Chains A and B, each alone.
Chain A
């Protein structure tokens, strides 16, 4: 257990439905990242928050995706009008800013299946 939690762990949804995932980072970490991982591949960066500010978004993050971190603590990732291609593991990670930073601590992930 890294201290990063994600909810739900699994989500099965029908194409066209909206889904929302939650990530609770390690409490003292001000940096939060979302990644997506498909079968047989490494994780791919989606977006990054420093405190409550979303500072970077990947081109992978289409208009159907939105992420928030309203109070600089937990974060949510919403996918609207899901497509079968959205089926993947969605991973959240957090880290602290500072001279010793760099290590990211990952949550267990939310596995999304779009039918």
Chain B
């Protein structure tokens, strides 16, 4: 079963604005990862945050993790048209590192 649940499901913003997505999960995790998927293509890994970390940055991406609330957020700053994609959070909770994905957020950045 899918553990991650992103909120909101769809987001439409103007280029240059920030986009924020949230993800909640139900069980203890080893780490939480965010992926991007362009239409009909494979997933591209964006960032991994471990359970003992609270915040992580990578370029224009900022991820936070609150294990007490079992939630994470992904912030994309200064969005670009090329950021238009679906964004998935995935939790790694098992010994085999298999991932449980949410349903994804569709983000449309309008030029």
Tell me the A residues contacting B by CB distance below 8 Å. Answer: 2, 4, 31, 33, 35, 40-45, 48, 50, 55-56, 89, 91, 93, 95, 101-109, 111
Contact = CB atoms under 8 A, between A and B. Distances in A.
B69 interface: no
A41 B100 contact: no
B42 A42 contact: no
Contacts of B48: 102-103
Given A40-B103, A102-B48, A109 B42 contact: yes
A102 B30 contact: yes
A108 B45 contact: no
Interface string B55-78: 000000000000000000000000
A interface, by DSSP: helix, strand, loop or mixed?
strand
Interface of B: 2, 4, 30-31, 33, 35, 40-45, 48, 50, 88, 90, 92, 94, 96-104
Nearest to B47: A103
A102 B98 contact: no
Contact of B45 (A40, A56, A105): A105
| Minimum-distance CB pairs A-B, first 3 | A42-B101, A108-B42, A106-B43
A31 B45 CA distance: 16
Given A40-B103, A102-B92, A103-B48, A45 B98 contact: yes
A102 B101 contact: no
A74 B61 CA distance: 33
Contacts of B99: 33, 35, 43, 45, 104
A43 B98 contact: no
